[in-house]
A = this chain, B = another copy of it.
Amino acid sequence: MPGNKTLDKISSELIKQKKKISTAESCTGGLIAHYLTNISGSSNFFDRGIIAYSNIAKIDLLNVSKDLLEKHGAVSKEVAYAMADDIRKQSNVDIGLATTGIAGPTGGTVDKPVGLVYIAISTSEKTNVKKFKFSGNRLENKTSTLHAALNMLYEELKG
């Protein structure tokens, strides 16, 4: 699990830059929001988090189109992009962070194996999506995704 240092640096930057963040998680299931809200005073920079586990939740709560889900699948660059973009816009914050992936041990296919994860960060200027392939058990894959997401977030904040 990430140490307090990473979280402290992120919260310091968010507060210094007066930026707010919201999260849209699938495979991490709330882990990222849990870490961000471990910081006292996080209500100053964290607005909301959505854990869209089912496809219908992605459609209902994050305006991901049914066509996009059918064409690319829930675990895809395109859906990660759409989730991050929507959570930022719907909550009127500076940064939207999204994860979608296959934590395992079930749910993997040849094309989309266990450990495949997409992480997206959306700002008003751009939306970046990165692809990862982790190789741990379910909790390890969630934790690796958390680490990678926090690193991407810190990089984004450093500019």
Contact = CB atoms under 8 A, between A and B. Distances in A.
Give how many copies assemble into the complex. Answer: 2
Given A60-B90, A61-B48, A53 B37 contact: yes
Interface string A30-44: 111110111011110
Given A29-B37, A36-B29, A40-B105, A52 B56 contact: no
A57 interface: yes
A41 B139 contact: no
Contact of A48 (B23, B50, B103): B50
Contact of A91 (B40, B42, B57, B103): B57
Interface residues of A, number: 39
A43 B47 contact: no
Contacts of A138: 38, 40
Interface of A: 23, 25, 28-34, 36-38, 40-43, 46-54, 56-57, 60-61, 90-91, 103-107, 138-139, 142
Contacts of A34: 28-31, 34, 142
Contacts of A41: 106
List the 4 closest pairs (A to B, CB-CB), nearest first. Answer: A29-B37, A30-B30, A30-B33, A49-B51
21 contacts: A29-B30, A29-B34, A29-B49, A30-B30, A30-B32, A30-B37, A33-B51, A34-B142, A37-B142, A38-B139, A47-B56, A47-B57, A48-B51, A48-B54, A48-B60, A48-B61, A49-B51, A50-B50, A57-B91, A60-B91, A61-B61
